[in-house]
Amino acid sequence: MSSKEFTDTLRPFFWSEHENSASVCLEVGGYRNEIFATRAAEGFEGSGYDWASLAQVFLTEQQPQLAGIVKFDPEGSMFCAYSADKEALKQFALAFKIALDDERIATDLLSRAELD
């Protein structure tokens, strides 16, 4: 997959390379709000912390071999995953985005997320 195809596939997430690591981030508020609305009564708003909870469920259930390699550093308005292992992060990011593109899968994953 070319670099352009990769970034196009990840959109609206964006990829950033750093000297010894990489990150994949999302400015929250415009993408997949409907899945967080299913748990709004419990306090889920779609914040960066909510996204990190969702991503943690995905990582634990779908890519346990990447646990401890892919890490999360959310803020209120931004979700961010990072790793020193750029290939592992790419693997996580692509698989996570594919899961999110399926509303049924995304909603199911969120059903097991814990409010942070």
For residue 104, is it within any domain? yes
Residue 115 lies in a domain: no
Tell me the two tokens of residue 66. Answer: 């990447």
Residue 43 located in a structural domain: yes
Q: 116 in a domain, yes or no?
A: no
Q: Model confidence over 42-90: pLDDT tens digits?
A: 999 999 999 999 999 999 999 999 999 999 999 999 999 999 999 999 9
What's the rounded Cα separation, in Å, for the pair 22 and 39?
31
User: Minimal CA–CA distance to 63: which of 19, 18, 12, 97?
Assistant: 97
Which structure tokens are listed for 71? 């890490």
Round to whole Å and give the CA distance between 115 and 39. Answer: 10
Sign of CA dihedral 31, 35, 96, 58: positive
Host domain of residue 60: 3-110
Confidence category of residue 113, pLDDT binned at 50, 70, 90:
very high
User: Would residue 85 count as lying in a domain?
Assistant: yes
Specify the DSSP class assigned to residue 65. Answer: G
Domain count, the chain: 1
